[in-house]
Amino acid sequence: MQKLLQIDFPFNGPFGEEMSTVLAELAQSITEEPGFIWKIWTEQQSLKEAGGIYLFTDEPSAQAYLEKHTARLKSLGVNEVRARIYDVNQSLSKITKAPIK
Amino acid sequence: MQKLLQIDFPFNGPFGEEMSTVLAELAQSITEEPGFIWKIWTEQQSLKEAGGIYLFTDEPSAQAYLEKHTARLKSLGVNEVRARIYDVNQSLSKITKAPIK
């Protein structure tokens, strides 16, 4: 069953287009993670936070990615990572044009 | 600029298919909100929570919907609504196959 993973963490920047340039290679690598379907990159510059919302094919893939990404963030000095994994209500989401299968 | 709105709140159910039946009409009405693009319906039955992730065309639409939906939830007895509005990093999201324009 598809799972939605949300991650947020403190981030001092860069944001916007500068962030895009710095992290383009990482973004490309994320598309090759097992079970990965898509990621929306989220930013809240005023709060100095960044994160993402991901769709994975199943819970083990989402969990494995979360562990890998949390370790990567820790290696970059980000120690406070908030994450949640959600079930998706497929029937209601289809009515509201959600980008899921 | 497109904005992502996330909402979470305590919810005693119904979840899953029963929730779909009860809320199908509400789901249909949400698609007619100004600036609405899509909504993914999220559930965490083990935590007794429900919510959604929405894409809107712009921040005023997201804010207006949040106010309307918060009032609707309050009328149903849900007083604790957590909500955040995020910017989307379009360039990185395109690399990671995100369902945005």
Computed over every residue of chain A, the mean pLDDT equals 95
Which among A90, A19, A27, A16 is positioned nearest to A54, based on CA atoms? A27
Residue B73 lies in a domain: yes
Percentage of chain A lying above the pLDDT 90 cut: 93
Residue A24 lies in a domain: yes
Residue B101 lies in a domain: no
Q: Cβ distance A7 to A66 under 8 Å?
A: yes
Which residues on chain A are in Cβ contact (under 8 Å) with B17?
91
C-alpha radius of gyration, chain B, whole number: 14
Picking from B86, B90, B94, B100 by the largest number of A CB atoms within 10 A of its own CB, the best residue to mutate is: B86
Domain of B46, in residue numbers? 3-95
CATH number of the domain encompassing residue B25: 3.30.70.100
Number of domains in chain B: 1
Which among A66, A34, A63, A72 is positioned nearest to A52, based on CA atoms? A66
* Amino acid occupying residue A19: M
pLDDT digits (tens, 9 = 90+) for B22-38: 999 999 999 999 999 99
Q: Are B96 and A20 inside 8 Å of each other by CB?
A: no
| ipTM of predicted complex | 0.94
* Reported pTM: 0.94
Q: What is the mean pLDDT of residues A69-90?
A: 94
Checking if the pLDDT of A101 tops 80, the result is no
Low-confidence ranges of chain B (pLDDT < 50): none
Residue B100 lies in a domain: no
Cα distances (angstroms) measured from residue A36 to each of A1, A30, B5, B13, B88: 13, 8, 22, 29, 19
Residue A39 lies in a domain: yes
Q: Which residue of B has its CA nearest to A37?
A: B97
